[in-house]
Amino acid sequence: MPIAATDPDFVTALARGLELISAFGPRSETLTITQAATRTGLSRGTARRLLLTLEALGFVRQDGKSFTLTPKALVLGYAYLSSIPLWEVARPVMQRVVEELDQSCALGVLDARDVVYIARTPPSHLSFLPTKPGTRMPAHVNAMGQILLAQLSEDEIDDYFHNTRLEKLTRFTLDDEAQIRQALKKALHDGYAISDRQIQTGIRSIAIAIPSRHGAPQVAMNISASESHASKQDLIQRFLPALKRAAAEIAHAIA
Is 192 contained in some domain?
yes
Mean pLDDT of 57-81: 78
Residues 33 and 149 both lie in one domain: no
Alpha carbon distance 77, 65 (integer Å)? 27
User: Do 144 and 248 sit in the same domain of this protein?
Assistant: yes
Same domain, 98 and 197: yes
Q: Are residues 139 and 221 in the same domain?
A: yes
In a domain, 246, yes or no: yes
User: Which of the four pLDDT bands, split at 50, 70 and 90, describes residue 82?
Assistant: low
Q: Compute CA distances 251 → 85, 103, 107, 213, whole Å.
A: 10, 22, 13, 8
Looking at the fold, whether 66 and 88 belong to one and the same domain comes out as: no
* Residue 206 · residue 222 · CB < 8 Å: yes
Cβ-defined contacts of 151-160 (< 8 Å, 24+): 151/188, 151/209, 151/216, 151/217, 152/216, 157/181, 157/184, 160/113
Q: Does residue 33 sit in the same domain as residue 98?
A: no
What are the start-end ranges of the E strands in 46-102? 60-63, 66-69
Kindly state whether residues 226 and 170 are assigned to the same domain: yes
Q: How many domains does the chain have?
A: 2
Does the pLDDT value for residue 77 go beyond 80? no
- Decide: 107 and 132 in contact? Cβ < 8 Å: no
For 215, the domain range is 84-254
Task: For residue 4, tell me if it sits in a domain.
Answer: no
The pLDDT, as a whole number, for residue 3 is 75
Which one is predicted more confidently, 202 or 255?
202
Residue 15: what pLDDT?
85
Inside any domain, residue 2: no
Q: Could you tell me if 57 and 98 lie in one domain?
A: no
Number of Cβ atoms within 10 Å of the Cβ of 37: 21
Cα distances (Å, whole numbers) of residue 156 to 2, 143, 216, 251: 16, 18, 13, 25
Q: Is 76 within the bounds of a domain?
A: no
pTM: 0.71
Q: List the one residue out of 199, 77, 66 whose CA is nearest residue 144.
A: 199
pLDDT reported for residue 10: 84
CATH number at residue 180: 3.30.450.40
Judge if 30 and 117 occupy the same domain: no
**Beta strand pairing call for 114-121 and 136-138:** antiparallel
CATH value at residue 58: 1.10.10.10
175 and 52 share a domain? no
Task: With respect to residue 239, please indicate whether it lies within any of the assigned structural domains.
Answer: yes
Whether residue 84 has pLDDT greater than 70: no
User: With pLDDT > 90 as the criterion, what percentage of the chain qualifies?
Assistant: 56
Kindly state whether residues 40 and 103 are assigned to the same domain.
no
Mean pLDDT on 207-217: 85
Output the pLDDT for position 83: 57
Residues recorded for the chain:
255
How many CA within 13 A on the CB side of residue 251?
20
Residue 24's pLDDT is what?
85
Evaluate whether residue 79 is within a structural domain.
no
Over residues 107-128, the mean pLDDT reads 83
Decide which of 130 and 194 is more confident: 194
The answer to whether residue 64 is domain-embedded is yes
Q: Provide the sign of the torsion angle of the four alpha carbons 116, 118, 123, 127, taken in this order.
A: positive
What pLDDT is stored for residue 12 in this prediction? 86
Q: Judge if 110 and 225 occupy the same domain.
A: yes
pLDDT at 6 over 90: no
Please give the single-letter amino acid code of residue 116: V
